[in-house]
Amino acid sequence: MNRVSLFVLSCLAAGGFSFQVRAAESSGETVADHVFIGRHIITMEPDYEQSRRGRPSALAIRGEEIVWLGSRRQAKSLIGDGTRVHELGNRALLPGFIDAHGHVSFLGATLAWANLAPPPVGPVTDFETLTATLRAYIDTHQVPAGSWVIGFGYDDSLLTERDHPDRRVLDGVSTSHPIALVHVSGHLMAANTLGLSKAGIDSETPDPPGGHIRRDPGTDEPTGVLEETATYPLQAQLLQPRGNPLDDLVNGLAAYAARGVTTVQEGHAQPAGVQMLQAAAEAGLLNVDVVVYPGVRSDDLTVVDGMPFGRYLNRLKIGGVKMMLDGSPQGKTAYLTRPYHVPPPGQSADYRGYPTYGDNHVNAMFAAFLRARIPILAHANGDAAADQLIEAVSLAAPTTDHRTVMIHAQTVREDQLDRMQPLGIIPSFFSAHVFFWGDWHRDSVLGPERGSRISPTRSAWDRQMPFTLHNDAPVVPPDVIRLIWATTNRTTRSGQVLGPDQRLTTFEALSAVTRMAAYQNFEEDEKGTLAAGKLADLVILSRDPLRMDPEDLLSLEVSETWSRGRQVYAAPDG
């Protein structure tokens, strides 16, 4: 029996609940640093819900570890002069949430940019509010002429115009500032005329492989809207040092901690980003664990030479590598097997998006890194890109416990899940999409049939295969509670339920951001459940989520976050 099968059996086995007890001795050396006491200590062990008897009402930690779980009465023997006792009351204690996919440094950077997101994240609903927000940003930050103005989060699917702001719209904001806007998906960008010029993009610039420069009808003049790899020259301009990137990182870490996340991800790091994270780790700036995945574009293993995979050093771990196989469904660049329901402007009715790389290139990358026993996260939104990933793993035929992760898996089909399970491929679903873009997927991107089963979490759970959930911050904020709400309710912005047969229970959804997320990271022995000997990564919630109606989960709040036995966040009113 392989390790994946053993994991599945342990995840879904029913039976008597048990918890580990590490008995305290009379010596003062064994007293706890902290003891938490309450009626809602949710261990997230797979059989927690099945057994109502014997659940712990107290948990003790010493140093970085959980050392004991048991009853309130038994906890007295672990309390000494230096022990802090925390009465939970009606609050719930759970394992800290684990970020299965996100971009902590990018999140931190965007917090300093103009917020162009639609409600409830930002203020922009049309071109008028977008341009007004940019002008206010220039004035408030006193951006000098010639300096870049960067905005993040505009969403053509939710703008009144149902279009991207092109160079003409942005020239109306300023012709003396180069302007670059990052689409909410991160896969498209828009620039004004000066911004295009700074990036060296004009009518003579050809479309790069895996990308597209949108052009004015009948001419070769760029509209200012760039897709996928065509954004790289503009990105290169924005990556020039501005301020202290360590400040951005600290802000990103704080945003995660405030949402109860104790292990975060840097999901597509460039060499400079890896070096910055290593410097932050050496300086002691990481207050939660960070797992970094350097981005790779070929089968050249030298790009990761000397990187210590699989072990933490000062809270930082190189977890594997990240590959990009396609684009964004909401941006209509994801690679599909069937055409888009409504093709984007300038595309024919049979438009299916496009891959980042050809099949042979993908096969070579997977073969090289799997052979080197380096874990892979591969971005695959469209089902055609998912086919590339599945076939590449199948051809590589890894004999080790590789745990390849299909990031997003938005349109993965039932037959693909059937193939993924025995291959040990883990889908990580971006199920917050159901709220943020569910209406757009149903009405424009995929149509009612395919749109109703985006992020098919129930299909994965019923197959007894490990899977995870993520927010892909900063595409959407790292709000795990909203992610759980979206996964259990599947309610769109318009209030409609999209694919009710794919809904999970609250416990099932929580499993995907705790226990199964730890498994994805090869960390199931130290994280993901509350058990003696595991790291004291904890989140305290304002109420017990398992006793709430799923529709009310958005009222749940994070009260405290603890990472390795230290409090890293406390709510202002707590």
Question: What's the rounded mean pLDDT across residues 129-135?
Answer: 98
Q: What local confidence, expressed as pLDDT, does residue 242 receive?
A: 64
Pure H helices in 428-491: 433-440, 447-451, 457-462, 480-489
Q: What is the pLDDT confidence band of residue 23, given thresholds at 50, 70 and 90?
A: very low
Helix (H, G, I), strand (E, B) or coil at 41: strand
Residues in the chain: 574
pLDDT tens readout for residues 439-483: 999 999 999 999 999 999 999 999 999 999 999 999 999 999 999
- For the chain, give the percent of residues with pLDDT over 90: 87
Residues in CB range of 479: below 8 A, 6 or more apart: 259, 471
Report pLDDT for 307.
86
Beta-sheet strand order (sheet of 34-38): 65-70, 58-62, 34-38, 84-89
Q: Comparing C-alpha atoms, which of 568, 560, 569 is closest to residue 36? A: 560
Whose tokens are 């948990």? That residue is 59
Residue from 190, 191, 227 nearest 207 by CA: 227
Q: Tens digit of pLDDT for each residue in 251-302? A: 999 999 999 999 999 999 989 899 999 999 999 999 999 999 999 999 999 9
Q: Where are the domains of the chain?
A: 106-238
Arithmetic mean of pLDDT, 535-563: 98
Give helix 383-396 / helix 414-423 axis angle, nearest 10°: 30
- The span from the CA of 393 to the CA of 419, in Å, is 10
Distance separating alpha carbons of residues 511 and 457, to the nearest angstrom: 12
Q: Which two tokens stand for residue 417?
A: 């899940």
**Topology annotation, domain 106-238:** Diaminopimelate Epimerase; Chain A, domain 1 (3.10.310)
What do you get for the CA distance between the two ends of the chain, in Å? 47
How confident is residue 239, by pLDDT bands cut at 50, 70 and 90? low
Q: For residue 165, which of 206, 195, 197 has the smallest C-alpha distance?
A: 195
Q: Which residues pair with 474 in a beta bridge?
A: none
- CB-based burial label for 20 (10 Å; 0-12, 13-18, 19+): middle
8 Å CB contact between 255 and 248: no
Whether 500 shows a pLDDT value over 70: the answer reads yes
Digit-coded pLDDT (tens) for 208-226: 999 999 999 888 899 999 9
pLDDT at 550 over 90: yes
- Torsion angle (degrees, nearest 10) of CA 92, 95, 96, 100: -130
Residue 85: pLDDT over 70: yes
Question: The pTM is what?
Answer: 0.88
pLDDT of residue 7: 39
Torsion of CA 116, 121, 122, 127, to 10 degrees: 60
